[in-house]
Chains A and B, each alone.
Chain A
Amino acid sequence: MRRGWCAAPLALLFFVVVWPVFQLFRQGAGALSFDFLGDPFYRWRLAWTFCQALLTCLLALGIGVPVAWVLARFEFPGRRMLTRCLMLPFVMPTLVAGIGVLALFGPNGLSGINLQDTPWLLLYGNLFYNLPMLIRAAQEGFARVPATRLAAARTLGASPWRVFRRVELPAAAPWICSALCLVFLYCFSGFGLALLLGGQRYATVEVEIYTLVAYELNLTDAGALALSVMIMTGISALIYAWLEMRLGRAARGRAEPRRRTRGWHQRAMLGGALAIVAVFALAPLLAIVMRAIVPDAWGVLSDEETLGALWNTARFTGIALVSATAFGLAHAFALRRSAWFRALSFLPYAVSPVCMAFGLLLLYPGLGASLIMLLSAYTVLAYPFIARSVSAALDAVDEHLPAAARTLGASPWRTLTRVLMPIIAPALARGMAFAAATALGEFAVTLFLSRPEWMTLTTLIYQHLGRPGAENMNAAMVLSCLLMLLALLAFIVIEWPSRREAPCSN
């Protein structure tokens, strides 16, 4: 039975990820002479891609760690609400984020500052996604430091600052490092943001691959570039998976209680932290809403084009959700207590959507027009969320519970339906919400395999952006606003768990 569980996800991963990537390697390796590195243009692309990922990591570290510390140590009205809001960017489609940044700092942006054609636009977009993620992770790490350990450090003569440096930071370091790995991974293989915000000069390698394949049909150079991207992302995904497995060992003991702020400097710290969260996590979303509230602009919703895209988005998301749930559950039940199978669920993170789509095109040229290929790509991108969420919940289940159910007369099937499924249901719902958000905002694969009849909300927004005129800009804003509201639904499922589940949130 165990083996049966494994088969489905393994087959999916093999045919949609491993085999296409292998194909890509062959394509790349066939002509691989690294000649392309002689071209200063490619050299710049690779160097900039690396630099912007690294810069984002450094900025996120510098800004995020102090904010996380403040959120972990101080109690203030609305603190839970705020930590929930930190999850908001994570479920937002890249297109929404990109449009939000443009609405703020693009030409005619709300801020009045035009950052177009500077690297700051892309860096700000990167931080919108990654800063909140790092803050959440670091805060988790800080919140778990046992109070007695801090007290011990103080009695041994450490000042609050020294306690932070010598006790708290090392304790939170695994969380921070694993988040940094993800930041690097996302930024290095980011596509949507770089396409929208990078412009000519500050786009990333992924955008270059897309341009080479879609417009110049230069598969050789694209293959070589994809190869270099995959090596980088593979390394950081490996480091991330390794760090993540070490996080299981939580420190024992009661956590340091959060205190109300006292004195002006503590209040200033809190104020600063709140301002940073507002500027980086919330401002772009608010900007979209403000730009979308324009008279007449909402007429775009009744366009035939829009309705078609909405229908596509709805059915792709629905089908992807169903199959991702099936594969995710199979993977989660199969990977119980098997480390290597667990590592496999990180595989889709390690391969960027663009590389995957490129590989799929190379491998199955005949299927280029088939929905199966698009939907399997959607499934592969969405199902790890379900697999990981459910398997974490399964790990937390007391191993005696199934045994207790058996001795009370429940058959294996009844044990599954009456004990295990109800317990993992909240985790499954959360995983499904993430999966739905992923499918909803899917952009890279859809664009890569793009066919007019597969137009989704995201690709439609991108089309509107490419067309001239304020009307199209307004349409893009309105559609982004709509997409944002849909993603908000997923966010609500994720962050407002049912009463029973609340205490065991991990």
Chain B
Amino acid sequence: MLELKSLCKRFGARTVAYHLDLAVEPGEILALLGPSGCGKSTLLAMVAGLETPDAGRIVFDGEDLAGLPPESRHFALMFQDYALFPHLNVLDNVMFGLIERRVARVEARERALSVLEVLGLAPHATRDIGTLSGGEAQRVALARALVTEPRLILLDEPFSSLDAHLRLALQSEFRQRLKQLGICAIWVTHDRNEAFAMADRVALLHDGRVQQCATPGQLLAAPANPWVARFIGFNNVTEHAVVPDAAFLLGDEHPAAVIEEVIAQAEGAKLRVRTEEGEFVLQLSAREIRTLGARLQKGETIGLAVEAGALIRFGAGPAPESYNR
């Protein structure tokens, strides 16, 4: 549906995209995940038409979007700070896009009200933007983006300014709504958990390229390279393989490993150990801690082995999906 083909963009010395390829399928929610400042937002701005790529093409439904101004693309972009219009109230904000699309005022009002109704904002229709709470402003921004029935919705870190509790509640609500409407979405985030919870597929962005684009399950089962493996949260990554937690075998029959550090956690503990094969970080459950008992101290040794068959080797194992499925 949407295809980025060999996209290039740089700002001075900073490379945002370098021959970047990416495709979004109809009805799919795709998360763009990457460290802060890797150019995710710029990528969104280029799709929206607010920035011009230096080279490469952006194609939607077979149509090259080059030169098409943002207002003609019929994509909705939801900003990190929501960018609600301060001089308009909630209803007028939601109606803004409809009026620009030449919808008659009466009809625009009805459509806006019905979207507000669905999002539970109907009682707030006449409120000033300045009086909304973070969660309310967020939903108004979503309503404003959805009401015009865009061909594609672009979300730029939509939850980053909310507290953790509210974020969880809204995340599932958002996913449900988008799925119901069947709108294709690109979701920019730097939060791994959010990306995995929300998206059908996750594209990992680093050094101006998509390092891997796959479902959350596939990413965990077969990360494409060490950077991806580390970024999605594996503790033990070597040059050629990931050592998943399941690959570690504990027991006195195994060679001794020296405990370098014990880091207590809410449930269980983290252990940094040195073996002949190198340093590892172990995640121990509460039960395992009880079994090990008093030996769990810096300088003590425990028996530890790595099961070779459980290693995830880069480029082997189940083949990672290609970027353009």
Pair B83/A401 contact, Cβ less than 8 Å: yes
- Which one, A409, A500, A503, A504, contacts B97 given CB within 8 A? A409
A410 to chain B, nearest CB (A): 5
Pair A423/B86 contact, Cβ less than 8 Å: yes
- Nearest B-chain residue to A411, judged by Cβ: B71
A78 to chain B, nearest CB (A): 26
B114 to chain A, nearest CB (A): 18
A392 to chain B, nearest CB (A): 15
Q: Residue A158 at the B interface, CB < 8 A?
A: no
Q: Residue B70 at the A interface, CB < 8 A?
A: yes
- Bound complex: CA A431 to CA B87 (Å): 19
Pair B101/A403 contact, Cβ less than 8 Å: no
Pair B70/A407 contact, Cβ less than 8 Å: yes
Size of the chain B interface, CB-CB below 8 angstroms = 29
Pair A408/B76 contact, Cβ less than 8 Å: yes
Question: With A398-B81, A408-B100 in contact, is A403–B128 under 8 Å at CB?
Answer: no
- Which chain B residues border A418 with CB–CB below 8 Å? 96, 100
Interface string of A394-414 (1 = CB under 8 A from B): 000010110111111111001
B199 to chain A, nearest CB (A): 21
- Which chain B residues border A400 with CB–CB below 8 Å? 79, 81, 83
Pair A419/B74 contact, Cβ less than 8 Å: no
Question: With A403-B50, A404-B77, A500-B128 in contact, is A410–B83 under 8 Å at CB?
Answer: no
- Bound complex: CA A500 to CA B127 (Å): 12
- Nearest B-chain residue to A407, judged by Cβ: B77
- Which chain A residues border B75 with CB–CB below 8 Å? 407
- Which one, A406, A422, A500, A503, contacts B69 given CB within 8 A? A406
B91 to chain A, nearest CB (A): 15
- Which one, A404, A423, A504, contacts B83 given CB within 8 A? A404
- Bound complex: CA A403 to CA B154 (Å): 13
- Nearest A-chain residue to B72, judged by Cβ: A409
Interface string of A418-429 (1 = CB under 8 A from B): 110011010000
- Which chain B residues border A414 with CB–CB below 8 Å? 71, 100
Interface string of B93-125 (1 = CB under 8 A from A): 000110011000000000000000000000000
- Which one, A404, A407, A422, contacts B87 given CB within 8 A? A422
Q: Which B146-196 residues have C-beta < 8 A from chain A?
A: 148, 154
- Bound complex: CA A497 to CA B128 (Å): 17
- Nearest A-chain residue to B70, judged by Cβ: A406
- Which chain A residues border B86 with CB–CB below 8 Å? 423, 504
Pair B97/A408 contact, Cβ less than 8 Å: yes
Pair B77/A410 contact, Cβ less than 8 Å: no
- Nearest A-chain residue to B86, judged by Cβ: A423
Q: Residue B85 at the A interface, CB < 8 A?
A: yes
Pair B71/A407 contact, Cβ less than 8 Å: yes
- Bound complex: CA A378 to CA B88 (Å): 36
- Which one, A407, A422, A425, A504, contacts B76 given CB within 8 A? A407
Q: Residue B9 at the A interface, CB < 8 A?
A: no
Pair A411/B74 contact, Cβ less than 8 Å: no
Q: Residue B144 at the A interface, CB < 8 A?
A: yes
- Nearest B-chain residue to A403, judged by Cβ: B50
- Bound complex: CA A407 to CA B51 (Å): 12
A113 to chain B, nearest CB (A): 51
- Which chain A residues border B100 with CB–CB below 8 Å? 405, 408-410, 414, 418
Q: For chain B, what secondary structure do more than half of its interface residues adopt (helix, strand, loop), or is it mixed?
A: mixed
- Which chain B residues border A503 with CB–CB below 8 Å? 130
- Nearest B-chain residue to A400, judged by Cβ: B83
- Bound complex: CA A423 to CA B84 (Å): 12
- Which chain B residues border A409 with CB–CB below 8 Å? 71-72, 74, 97, 100-101, 148
Size of the chain A interface, CB-CB below 8 angstroms = 21
- Which chain A residues border B70 with CB–CB below 8 Å? 403, 406-407
- Bound complex: CA A423 to CA B75 (Å): 25
- Bound complex: CA A425 to CA B86 (Å): 12
Question: With A409-B101, A414-B100, A500-B128 in contact, is A404–B148 under 8 Å at CB?
Answer: no
Pair B48/A407 contact, Cβ less than 8 Å: yes
- Bound complex: CA A500 to CA B50 (Å): 30
Q: Residue B49 at the A interface, CB < 8 A?
A: yes
Question: With A419-B85, A500-B87, A500-B128 in contact, is A410–B79 under 8 Å at CB?
Answer: no
- Which chain B residues border A419 with CB–CB below 8 Å? 85, 87
- Nearest B-chain residue to A503, judged by Cβ: B130
Which of A404, A410, A423 has the most chain B CB within a 10 Å cutoff? A404
A402 to chain B, nearest CB (A): 9
- Which chain B residues border A398 with CB–CB below 8 Å? 81, 83
- Which chain A residues border B77 with CB–CB below 8 Å? 403-404, 407
Which of A409, A410, A418 has the most chain B CB within a 10 Å cutoff? A409
- Bound complex: CA A235 to CA B57 (Å): 53
- Nearest A-chain residue to B51, judged by Cβ: A403
Interface string of B130-145 (1 = CB under 8 A from A): 1000000000000010
Interface string of B28-58 (1 = CB under 8 A from A): 0000000000000000010011100000000
- Nearest A-chain residue to B147, judged by Cβ: A408
- Which chain A residues border B88 with CB–CB below 8 Å? 422
A388 to chain B, nearest CB (A): 21
Question: With A403-B50, A422-B87, A500-B87 in contact, is A408–B81 under 8 Å at CB?
Answer: no
Q: Which A351-409 residues have C-beta < 8 A from chain B?
A: 398, 400-401, 403-409
Which of B69, B85, B97 has the most chain A CB within a 10 Å cutoff? B85
Interface string of A272-286 (1 = CB under 8 A from B): 000000000000000
A251 to chain B, nearest CB (A): 22
A158 to chain B, nearest CB (A): 36
- Bound complex: CA A401 to CA B100 (Å): 15
- Bound complex: CA A418 to CA B87 (Å): 10
Which of B49, B87, B130 has the most chain A CB within a 10 Å cutoff? B87
A504 to chain B, nearest CB (A): 8
A427 to chain B, nearest CB (A): 12
Pair A406/B71 contact, Cβ less than 8 Å: yes
- Nearest A-chain residue to B77, judged by Cβ: A407
A200 to chain B, nearest CB (A): 56
- Bound complex: CA A93 to CA B15 (Å): 57
- Which chain A residues border B83 with CB–CB below 8 Å? 398, 400-401, 403-404
A227 to chain B, nearest CB (A): 44
Pair A405/B130 contact, Cβ less than 8 Å: no
- Bound complex: CA A400 to CA B85 (Å): 10
- Bound complex: CA A404 to CA B83 (Å): 7
- A interface list, Cβ under 8 A from B: 398, 400-401, 403-411, 414, 418-419, 422-423, 425, 500, 503-504
Cβ contacts A to B, 7 pairs, < 8 Å:
A401-B83, A404-B83, A405-B85, A405-B100, A407-B48, A408-B148, A418-B100
**A408-B148, A409-B71 are known contacts; what are 18 more A-B pairs with Cβ within 8 Å?**
A398-B81, A401-B83, A403-B70, A403-B79, A404-B79, A406-B50, A407-B49, A407-B70, A407-B77, A408-B71, A409-B74, A409-B97, A410-B96, A410-B100, A419-B87, A423-B87, A500-B87, A504-B86
Q: Which are the 5 A-B pairs with shortest beta-carbon distances?
A: A408-B97, A409-B100, A400-B83, A404-B83, A406-B70
